[in-house]
Amino acid sequence: MSLKNMLAIALGILSAIGGFVDIGDLVFNTQAGATFGFQLIWVVAIGVLGIIVYSEMCGRVSAVSGRPVFDLVRERTGFGAGLATLVASEVVNLMTCAAEIGGVAICLKLLSGLPYRMLIAGAVIALVIASWTLRFQWIERLFGYLGLCLLVFAVAAIKLHPPWAQVVHGLVPGSHEGGSATLYLYFVVGLLGAAMTPYEVYFYSSGAVEDRWGMKELGLNKVTATIGYSLGGVLSVSLMIVAAMLFLPNGISPELLGTPALAAGSTFGRVGLLLALIGILFAVGGAAIETAFSGAYNVAQFFGWPWGKREGPARTPRFTAAWLIIFGLAMMVIMTGIDPVKLTEYSVIFSVVALPLTYLPILLVANDRTYMGSRVNGKLANVLGVGYMGIILLVAVSAIPLMLLTHGGQS
């Protein structure tokens, strides 16, 4: 392997780590750690393996067929099922994008002290300028690399000297202590939803086409998905450990985005606080762009419009209008004053409901020799893919009842 290829892999992995954590992971992992300590680490492990399995499939489909997943969804599943998938994914994308923009504005407010609504408008303008002017690869890199500041939580998790035996025990599913059974199950569903968010696979798949992946990139796809998401999962677990060590003993149930940053400040002082705020700012900022683009990719691919950041706005006017509209609508949603943390919880739970619509077509296409030739799923990918489909169906059915029973995770 040449030095250039190794560098490309390393850069891909770094941006995948920084880009893995979004507002959903921040909210659910810290709340889960503050409520159940280390007992839900196993859910993060299962969720991360799930996103690795399906992202690898998506990347492979794109590399082999030269087409992104959503392009094939309508062709493979028909207009009705394709439209249902499109509507569900657009609603979830919009909610998530609004929550991420709110997250950016909160971080800016904590850093600058300026008025929140003014910062929402400023954040959207900055994100639109970044999306418009930067090349696709640089959008991924800028937000992914600066999102790596979140590694402060991984270092904090080690510095806090957690009882490692209990941390390892948290990898084993089992009975729980503290909190009700329904609340425990609600967090199981939320953590899975946060780890397997649909927009991530759509963005990954379209990104593979934007980066012009071919058969040569199949190895890169496997390595980036496996190592990048695994290390991203380590960040999620770190958030849970830090919350378990600092918030659980004090009876703190995080309701604000500034609370995880406060934990970094408690551990490392002002430098830790600033690193955490910058990391959160770029992680949620990157996720806001990903959700807006993911929404535009889906709608353009469904209706067969020309699409792609690489092509430029003049060649893809409807695709460009789509992501601009998503940013505009998301800004209007968050300007209503809705709490971004609450909106995140709802968007994650609704994304769980939409998970089967996202992942089933991917599984079908990855097994279709018409598109994939000899690169169809192997035995391992199919066993894991079908197993995860079972899990996804189970959590999709239970998500809304659990949200109602626990009043959105409050009791």
Partner 1 sequence: MRGWRGSSAFVLCVVLGSCTQGSQATLAHSAESITSLASEGAVLGRNLVAGRVTRRFAIQHGLDLQGLMSDQMAVLDEMTAPPGERSQVEALRAITHRAASDLRRLTETGADQATLATDLERAATAAEKVRGSP
In eight-state DSSP terms, residue 375 is: G
Question: Is residue 349 within 8 Å of residue 400, measured between CB atoms?
Answer: yes
C-alpha span between 123 and 225 (Å, rounded): 29
Is 338 near partner 1 (CB under 8 A)? no
CB closer to partner 1, 3 vs 181:
181
CB of 101 to partner 1, least distance (A): 17
Contact region with partner 1 (CB under 8 A), list: 80-88, 135-143, 266-274, 289-297: 266-274
CB of 67 to partner 1, least distance (A): 37
Question: Nearest to residue 89, comparing CAs of 294, 396, 273, 260?
Answer: 294
CB of 395 to partner 1, least distance (A): 16
CB of 10 to partner 1, least distance (A): 33
Contacts by 252-255, CB closer than 8 A, 24 or more apart: 252/34, 253/31, 253/34, 253/35, 254/27, 254/30, 254/31, 254/34, 255/341
Count residues binding partner 1 (CB under 8 A). Answer: 32
* DSSP secondary structure string for all residues of 224-280: IIIIIHHHHHHHHHHHHHHHHHHTGGGT----STHHHHHHHHHHHHHHHHHHHHHHH
CB closer to partner 1, 111 vs 335:
111
Among 5, 7, 79, 112, binds partner 1 (CB under 8 A): 112
* Amino acid symbol at 205: S
Is 261 near partner 1 (CB under 8 A)? yes
Is 370 near partner 1 (CB under 8 A)? no
Is 266 near partner 1 (CB under 8 A)? yes
CB closer to partner 1, 166 vs 253:
253
Tokens of 27: 């909210």
CB of 281 to partner 1, least distance (A): 13
Is 113 near partner 1 (CB under 8 A)? yes
CB of 272 to partner 1, least distance (A): 8
Q: Is 147 exposed, middle or buried (0-12, 13-18, 19+ CB in 10 A)?
A: buried
Subset of 230-259 contacting partner 1 (CB under 8 A)? 246, 250-256, 258-259
